Amino acid sequence: MKAGVIGLGAMGVPMARYVHAKGVLTAVGNRTQAKADALASELEVRAARSAANFADCDVVILCVSLDADVLENVAALAEVLKPGAIVVDHSTVSIETARRAAAMLAAHNIGFLDAPVSGGVEGARNGKLSIMVGGDEAQLERVHDIIGSYAARITHMGITGAGQATKAINQILVAGINEAVCEGLALGEKLGLEPERLLPTLMAGAASNWFLEKRGATMLRDEFAPGFKCLHMLKDLRIVQGIARDSGIRTNTIDQAVADYFELIERGFGESDTSALIALKRARATVESDAA
Ligand code: NAP
Protein backbone atom coordinates (compact mmCIF):
# COMPACT_ATOMS: atom_id res chain seq x y z
CA MET A 1 0.00 0.00 0.00
CA LYS A 2 1.08 3.55 -0.74
CA ALA A 3 -0.60 6.37 1.18
CA GLY A 4 -0.75 10.15 0.87
CA VAL A 5 -1.89 12.77 3.37
CA ILE A 6 -3.37 16.16 2.38
CA GLY A 7 -3.90 18.89 5.01
CA LEU A 8 -0.92 19.28 7.34
CA GLY A 9 -2.44 21.22 10.23
CA ALA A 10 -2.84 20.47 13.92
CA MET A 11 -4.44 17.08 13.13
CA GLY A 12 -2.92 16.17 9.76
CA VAL A 13 0.76 16.36 10.77
CA PRO A 14 0.54 13.80 13.59
CA MET A 15 -1.61 11.55 11.38
CA ALA A 16 1.04 11.72 8.64
CA ARG A 17 3.74 10.83 11.16
CA TYR A 18 1.84 7.68 12.23
CA VAL A 19 1.26 6.65 8.61
CA HIS A 20 4.97 7.17 8.00
CA ALA A 21 5.83 5.03 11.04
CA LYS A 22 3.69 2.30 9.45
CA GLY A 23 6.03 2.46 6.46
CA VAL A 24 3.45 3.41 3.81
CA LEU A 25 3.59 7.23 3.57
CA THR A 26 4.49 8.23 0.01
CA ALA A 27 3.44 11.87 -0.40
CA VAL A 28 2.19 14.81 1.66
CA GLY A 29 0.37 17.91 0.41
CA ASN A 30 -0.89 21.16 1.88
CA ARG A 31 -2.39 24.46 0.71
CA THR A 32 0.60 26.39 2.05
CA GLN A 33 3.38 24.59 0.18
CA ALA A 34 6.12 25.34 2.74
CA LYS A 35 4.46 23.04 5.31
CA ALA A 36 4.41 20.14 2.85
CA ASP A 37 8.02 20.80 1.83
CA ALA A 38 9.20 20.86 5.47
CA LEU A 39 7.42 17.65 6.53
CA ALA A 40 8.33 15.83 3.30
CA SER A 41 11.98 16.68 3.73
CA GLU A 42 11.96 15.58 7.38
CA LEU A 43 10.22 12.26 6.63
CA GLU A 44 11.97 11.76 3.28
CA VAL A 45 8.74 11.42 1.29
CA ARG A 46 7.40 13.32 -1.73
CA ALA A 47 6.16 16.90 -1.28
CA ALA A 48 3.12 17.09 -3.54
CA ARG A 49 2.61 20.20 -5.65
CA SER A 50 -0.66 19.02 -7.21
CA ALA A 51 -3.12 16.12 -7.08
CA ALA A 52 -1.10 14.40 -9.83
CA ASN A 53 1.62 13.73 -7.26
CA PHE A 54 -0.79 11.30 -5.48
CA ALA A 55 -1.54 9.29 -8.65
CA ASP A 56 0.30 6.18 -7.42
CA CYS A 57 -1.34 6.19 -3.98
CA ASP A 58 -3.79 3.44 -2.98
CA VAL A 59 -5.10 5.58 -0.13
CA VAL A 60 -5.27 9.36 0.22
CA ILE A 61 -6.11 10.76 3.65
CA LEU A 62 -7.63 14.25 3.83
CA CYS A 63 -7.72 16.44 6.93
CA VAL A 64 -8.43 19.94 5.60
CA SER A 65 -10.52 22.82 6.91
CA LEU A 66 -13.87 23.36 5.20
CA ASP A 67 -16.41 21.63 2.96
CA ALA A 68 -15.10 23.55 -0.06
CA ASP A 69 -11.55 22.32 0.67
CA VAL A 70 -12.70 18.70 0.74
CA LEU A 71 -14.64 19.05 -2.52
CA GLU A 72 -11.78 20.88 -4.26
CA ASN A 73 -9.31 18.11 -3.34
CA VAL A 74 -11.76 15.32 -4.19
CA ALA A 75 -12.46 16.86 -7.62
CA ALA A 76 -8.74 16.97 -8.38
CA LEU A 77 -8.03 13.47 -6.99
CA ALA A 78 -10.93 11.98 -9.00
CA GLU A 79 -9.04 12.86 -12.17
CA VAL A 80 -5.74 11.23 -11.19
CA LEU A 81 -6.22 8.31 -8.76
CA LYS A 82 -6.38 4.79 -10.16
CA PRO A 83 -9.63 2.78 -9.99
CA GLY A 84 -9.83 0.96 -6.67
CA ALA A 85 -7.98 3.67 -4.75
CA ILE A 86 -9.71 5.04 -1.62
CA VAL A 87 -9.99 8.60 -0.29
CA VAL A 88 -10.49 8.83 3.48
CA ASP A 89 -11.74 12.20 4.73
CA HIS A 90 -11.10 13.08 8.38
CA SER A 91 -12.28 16.72 8.06
CA THR A 92 -15.51 17.71 9.80
CA VAL A 93 -17.96 18.65 7.03
CA SER A 94 -21.66 18.25 6.19
CA ILE A 95 -23.37 14.96 5.38
CA GLU A 96 -24.19 16.45 1.97
CA THR A 97 -20.50 17.14 1.26
CA ALA A 98 -19.66 13.53 2.15
CA ARG A 99 -22.32 12.30 -0.29
CA ARG A 100 -21.12 14.63 -3.06
CA ALA A 101 -17.49 13.58 -2.55
CA ALA A 102 -18.43 9.89 -2.64
CA ALA A 103 -20.44 10.36 -5.86
CA MET A 104 -17.64 12.32 -7.58
CA LEU A 105 -15.13 9.56 -6.82
CA ALA A 106 -17.51 6.66 -7.51
CA ALA A 107 -17.86 7.95 -11.09
CA HIS A 108 -14.17 7.01 -11.49
CA ASN A 109 -14.44 3.74 -9.49
CA ILE A 110 -12.56 5.32 -6.60
CA GLY A 111 -13.78 4.66 -3.06
CA PHE A 112 -14.61 7.23 -0.38
CA LEU A 113 -15.03 7.02 3.39
CA ASP A 114 -16.29 9.94 5.48
CA ALA A 115 -14.26 9.38 8.63
CA PRO A 116 -14.34 12.37 10.99
CA VAL A 117 -12.38 12.08 14.20
CA SER A 118 -12.66 13.06 17.85
CA GLY A 119 -10.01 13.27 20.54
CA GLY A 120 -8.39 16.61 19.79
CA VAL A 121 -4.76 17.33 18.96
CA GLU A 122 -3.74 15.24 21.97
CA GLY A 123 -5.67 12.30 20.50
CA ALA A 124 -3.92 12.78 17.16
CA ARG A 125 -0.46 13.13 18.74
CA ASN A 126 -0.97 10.09 20.97
CA GLY A 127 -2.53 8.02 18.19
CA LYS A 128 -5.73 7.64 20.21
CA LEU A 129 -8.45 9.18 18.03
CA SER A 130 -12.00 7.88 17.84
CA ILE A 131 -12.82 7.54 14.12
CA MET A 132 -16.47 7.40 13.03
CA VAL A 133 -16.84 6.02 9.52
CA GLY A 134 -19.51 6.14 6.84
CA GLY A 135 -19.25 4.21 3.59
CA ASP A 136 -18.55 0.73 2.33
CA GLU A 137 -17.37 -1.68 5.05
CA ALA A 138 -15.10 -3.59 2.64
CA GLN A 139 -13.30 -0.33 1.79
CA LEU A 140 -12.89 0.36 5.51
CA GLU A 141 -11.34 -3.09 5.94
CA ARG A 142 -8.72 -2.21 3.30
CA VAL A 143 -7.59 1.00 5.04
CA HIS A 144 -8.20 -0.19 8.60
CA ASP A 145 -4.54 -0.85 9.45
CA ILE A 146 -3.37 2.49 8.09
CA ILE A 147 -5.92 4.70 9.88
CA GLY A 148 -5.69 2.38 12.87
CA SER A 149 -2.12 3.64 13.34
CA TYR A 150 -3.55 6.79 14.96
CA ALA A 151 -6.84 5.46 16.39
CA ALA A 152 -7.99 4.13 19.74
CA ARG A 153 -11.27 3.10 18.12
CA ILE A 154 -12.64 2.85 14.59
CA THR A 155 -16.41 2.39 14.25
CA HIS A 156 -18.28 1.70 11.04
CA MET A 157 -21.45 3.77 11.56
CA GLY A 158 -23.28 2.98 8.30
CA ILE A 159 -23.56 4.23 4.74
CA THR A 160 -21.86 7.36 3.33
CA GLY A 161 -22.63 10.34 5.58
CA ALA A 162 -23.08 8.27 8.74
CA GLY A 163 -19.60 9.26 9.92
CA GLN A 164 -20.41 12.97 9.59
CA ALA A 165 -23.84 12.40 11.20
CA THR A 166 -22.07 10.84 14.20
CA LYS A 167 -19.60 13.73 14.36
CA ALA A 168 -22.55 16.16 14.48
CA ILE A 169 -23.77 14.45 17.66
CA ASN A 170 -20.22 14.53 19.02
CA GLN A 171 -20.03 18.28 18.44
CA ILE A 172 -23.31 18.98 20.29
CA LEU A 173 -21.86 17.23 23.33
CA VAL A 174 -18.49 18.97 22.94
CA ALA A 175 -20.14 22.40 22.61
CA GLY A 176 -22.40 21.85 25.62
CA ILE A 177 -19.53 20.59 27.79
CA ASN A 178 -17.39 23.59 26.78
CA GLU A 179 -20.23 25.97 27.73
CA ALA A 180 -20.59 24.34 31.15
CA VAL A 181 -16.87 24.09 31.92
CA CYS A 182 -16.07 27.69 30.89
CA GLU A 183 -19.06 29.07 32.78
CA GLY A 184 -18.24 26.99 35.86
CA LEU A 185 -14.55 27.96 35.92
CA ALA A 186 -15.35 31.66 35.31
CA LEU A 187 -17.60 31.50 38.36
CA GLY A 188 -14.92 29.62 40.30
CA GLU A 189 -12.54 32.55 39.69
CA LYS A 190 -15.12 35.07 40.89
CA LEU A 191 -15.64 33.03 44.07
CA GLY A 192 -11.89 32.95 44.69
CA LEU A 193 -11.52 29.16 44.51
CA GLU A 194 -7.95 27.93 43.99
CA PRO A 195 -7.50 26.11 40.66
CA GLU A 196 -5.02 23.64 42.22
CA ARG A 197 -7.82 22.42 44.50
CA LEU A 198 -10.84 23.02 42.28
CA LEU A 199 -9.71 21.15 39.15
CA PRO A 200 -8.68 17.81 40.72
CA THR A 201 -11.76 17.90 42.93
CA LEU A 202 -14.06 18.30 39.94
CA MET A 203 -12.12 15.69 37.96
CA ALA A 204 -12.58 13.14 40.75
CA GLY A 205 -16.38 13.36 40.63
CA ALA A 206 -19.35 13.25 38.27
CA ALA A 207 -18.32 16.50 36.52
CA SER A 208 -15.08 15.08 35.13
CA ASN A 209 -14.62 15.32 31.36
CA TRP A 210 -11.98 15.57 28.59
CA PHE A 211 -12.24 19.34 28.15
CA LEU A 212 -11.87 20.09 31.86
CA GLU A 213 -8.90 17.73 32.12
CA LYS A 214 -7.07 18.97 29.00
CA ARG A 215 -7.99 22.67 28.98
CA GLY A 216 -9.04 23.57 32.56
CA ALA A 217 -5.61 24.64 33.84
CA THR A 218 -4.55 26.41 30.63
CA MET A 219 -7.74 28.45 30.29
CA LEU A 220 -7.35 29.66 33.89
CA ARG A 221 -3.87 30.88 32.86
CA ASP A 222 -5.36 32.64 29.80
CA GLU A 223 -3.49 30.29 27.43
CA PHE A 224 -5.60 29.59 24.37
CA ALA A 225 -3.17 28.06 21.85
CA PRO A 226 -5.09 25.63 19.58
CA GLY A 227 -6.08 22.85 20.04
CA PHE A 228 -9.34 23.26 18.27
CA LYS A 229 -9.89 26.69 16.77
CA CYS A 230 -13.04 28.74 17.48
CA LEU A 231 -13.40 29.22 13.70
CA HIS A 232 -13.62 25.45 13.20
CA MET A 233 -16.05 25.07 16.09
CA LEU A 234 -18.41 27.66 14.56
CA LYS A 235 -18.13 25.89 11.18
CA ASP A 236 -19.07 22.58 12.84
CA LEU A 237 -21.93 24.07 14.86
CA ARG A 238 -23.52 25.66 11.82
CA ILE A 239 -23.52 22.25 10.14
CA VAL A 240 -25.04 20.71 13.28
CA GLN A 241 -27.62 23.50 13.59
CA GLY A 242 -28.88 22.78 10.07
CA ILE A 243 -29.15 19.04 10.72
CA ALA A 244 -30.84 19.52 14.09
CA ARG A 245 -33.39 22.04 12.79
CA ASP A 246 -34.26 19.77 9.85
CA SER A 247 -34.78 16.98 12.37
CA GLY A 248 -37.13 19.09 14.49
CA ILE A 249 -35.33 18.80 17.85
CA ARG A 250 -34.89 21.68 20.30
CA THR A 251 -31.56 23.37 19.63
CA ASN A 252 -30.99 25.54 22.73
CA THR A 253 -27.46 24.25 23.39
CA ILE A 254 -26.40 24.54 19.77
CA ASP A 255 -27.95 28.01 19.34
CA GLN A 256 -26.21 29.37 22.45
CA ALA A 257 -22.87 27.93 21.34
CA VAL A 258 -23.26 29.35 17.79
CA ALA A 259 -23.92 32.82 19.26
CA ASP A 260 -20.96 32.52 21.64
CA TYR A 261 -18.38 31.36 19.06
CA PHE A 262 -19.65 33.98 16.60
CA GLU A 263 -19.04 36.65 19.27
CA LEU A 264 -15.62 35.19 20.14
CA ILE A 265 -14.57 35.35 16.49
CA GLU A 266 -15.82 38.96 16.26
CA ARG A 267 -13.62 39.72 19.30
CA GLY A 268 -10.55 38.32 17.53
CA PHE A 269 -10.45 34.79 19.01
CA GLY A 270 -11.03 32.95 15.70
CA GLU A 271 -7.62 31.25 15.67
CA SER A 272 -7.68 30.63 19.44
CA ASP A 273 -8.62 27.35 21.10
CA THR A 274 -12.29 26.91 22.03
CA SER A 275 -11.31 27.25 25.70
CA ALA A 276 -11.14 31.02 24.98
CA LEU A 277 -14.89 30.82 25.64
CA ILE A 278 -14.02 31.52 29.28
CA ALA A 279 -13.12 35.09 28.23
CA LEU A 280 -16.72 35.62 27.13
CA LYS A 281 -18.13 34.09 30.31
CA ARG A 282 -15.94 36.38 32.44
CA ALA A 283 -16.99 39.41 30.40
CA ARG A 284 -20.66 38.56 30.81
CA ALA A 285 -20.26 38.15 34.55
CA THR A 286 -18.68 41.63 34.69
CA VAL A 287 -21.37 43.23 32.55
CA GLU A 288 -24.15 41.66 34.59
CA SER A 289 -22.68 42.60 37.96
CA ASP A 290 -22.05 46.17 36.71
CA ALA A 291 -25.68 46.40 35.63
CA ALA A 292 -26.85 45.16 39.04
P1 NAP B 1 -5.75 23.38 10.89
O2 NAP B 1 -4.71 23.28 11.95
O3 NAP B 1 -6.28 24.71 10.50
O4 NAP B 1 -5.19 22.63 9.59
C5 NAP B 1 -5.87 22.55 8.38
C6 NAP B 1 -4.81 22.25 7.34
O7 NAP B 1 -5.45 21.96 6.09
C8 NAP B 1 -3.88 23.46 7.12
O9 NAP B 1 -2.54 23.00 7.09
C10 NAP B 1 -4.35 23.99 5.77
O11 NAP B 1 -3.35 24.61 5.02
C12 NAP B 1 -4.79 22.72 5.08
N13 NAP B 1 -5.76 23.00 4.03
C14 NAP B 1 -6.90 23.73 4.13
N15 NAP B 1 -7.52 23.76 2.94
C16 NAP B 1 -6.76 23.05 2.08
C17 NAP B 1 -6.87 22.74 0.73
N18 NAP B 1 -7.92 23.17 -0.01
N19 NAP B 1 -5.91 21.97 0.15
C20 NAP B 1 -4.85 21.53 0.88
N21 NAP B 1 -4.68 21.81 2.18
C22 NAP B 1 -5.63 22.56 2.78
O23 NAP B 1 -7.04 22.49 11.26
P24 NAP B 1 -7.10 21.16 12.15
O25 NAP B 1 -7.33 21.53 13.56
O26 NAP B 1 -5.99 20.25 11.77
O27 NAP B 1 -8.50 20.58 11.61
C28 NAP B 1 -8.61 19.98 10.32
C29 NAP B 1 -10.02 19.39 10.21
O30 NAP B 1 -10.21 18.43 11.26
C31 NAP B 1 -11.13 20.43 10.35
O32 NAP B 1 -12.23 20.08 9.51
C33 NAP B 1 -11.51 20.32 11.83
O34 NAP B 1 -12.83 20.73 12.06
C35 NAP B 1 -11.32 18.83 12.07
N36 NAP B 1 -11.00 18.46 13.47
C37 NAP B 1 -10.12 19.18 14.23
C38 NAP B 1 -9.87 18.78 15.54
C39 NAP B 1 -8.92 19.54 16.47
O40 NAP B 1 -8.95 19.31 17.68
N41 NAP B 1 -8.07 20.42 15.95
C42 NAP B 1 -10.49 17.64 16.07
C43 NAP B 1 -11.34 16.91 15.27
C44 NAP B 1 -11.61 17.32 13.97
P45 NAP B 1 -2.74 26.07 5.37
O46 NAP B 1 -1.39 25.75 5.95
O47 NAP B 1 -2.68 26.79 4.07
O48 NAP B 1 -3.67 26.72 6.35
Residues 62-118 have pLDDT tens digits of 999 999 999 999 999 999 999 999 999 999 999 999 999 999 999 999 999 999 999
Q: What is the CATH number of the domain that holds 131?
A: 3.40.50.720
pLDDT of residue 19: 99
pLDDT in tens, 162-178: 999 999 999 999 999 99
105, 128, 158 - which closes a domain: 158
Query: Are residues 179 and 260 in contact, defined by beta-carbon separation less than 8 angstroms?
Result: yes
Active site residue 167: yes
Residue 132 sits in the same domain as residue 251? no
Residue 185 sits in the same domain as residue 258? yes
pLDDT > 70? residue 284: no
Residue 10 sits in the same domain as residue 88? yes
Residue 201 sits in the same domain as residue 112? no
Residue 171 sits in the same domain as residue 152? no
Residue 287 sits in the same domain as residue 199? yes
Residue 226 sits in the same domain as residue 112? no
Beta strands in 111-257 (DSSP E): 111-114, 117-118, 129-134, 151-158
- Going by C-alpha positions, the residue among 69, 76, 72 that lies closest to residue 54 is 76
Residue 176 sits in the same domain as residue 134? no
Per-residue pLDDT band for 290 (boundaries 50, 70, 90) equals low
Whose C-alpha lies nearest to ligand 1, atom 30? 91
pLDDT > 80? residue 241: yes
Atom of ligand 1 nearest to the CA of 12: 26
> Cα(156)–Cα(136) distance, rounded to whole angstroms?
9
Percent of the chain surpassing pLDDT 70: 97
Domain residues for the domain of 99 are 3-158
What mean pLDDT do residues 231-254 have? Answer: 96
158, 181, 216 - which closes a domain: 158
Per-residue pLDDT band for 234 (boundaries 50, 70, 90) equals very high
pLDDT of residue 288: 56
Residue 151 sits in the same domain as residue 231? no
Atom of ligand 1 nearest to the CA of 236: 34
Largest CA distance in the chain: 67
pLDDT of residue 103: 98
Strand pairing partners for 6?
29, 62
pLDDT of residue 175: 98
* Residues having CB within 6 Å of any atom of ligand 1: 6-12, 30-32, 35, 63-65, 69, 72-73, 91-92, 117-118, 120-121, 228, 232, 236
- Going by C-alpha positions, the residue among 278, 246, 262 that lies closest to residue 178 is 278
What mean pLDDT do residues 204-220 have? Answer: 98
pLDDT > 60? residue 287: no
Beta strands in 48-205 (DSSP E): 59-62, 86-89, 111-114, 117-118, 129-134, 151-158
pLDDT of residue 283: 86
pLDDT in tens, 59-73: 999 999 999 999 999
Whether this model's pTM surpasses 0.75 = yes
pLDDT > 60? residue 292: no
125, 158, 191 - which closes a domain: 158
pLDDT > 90? residue 291: no
pLDDT of residue 254: 97
Residue 13 sits in the same domain as residue 63? yes
Q: What is the CATH number of the domain that holds 286?
A: 1.10.1040.10
Say how many domains are in the chain. Answer: 2
Query: Annotated catalytic residue: which of 167, 229, 235, 281?
Result: 167
Atom of ligand 1 nearest to the CA of 35: 46
Residue 173 sits in the same domain as residue 106? no
Whose C-alpha lies nearest to ligand 1, atom 9? 9
Residue 224 sits in the same domain as residue 93? no
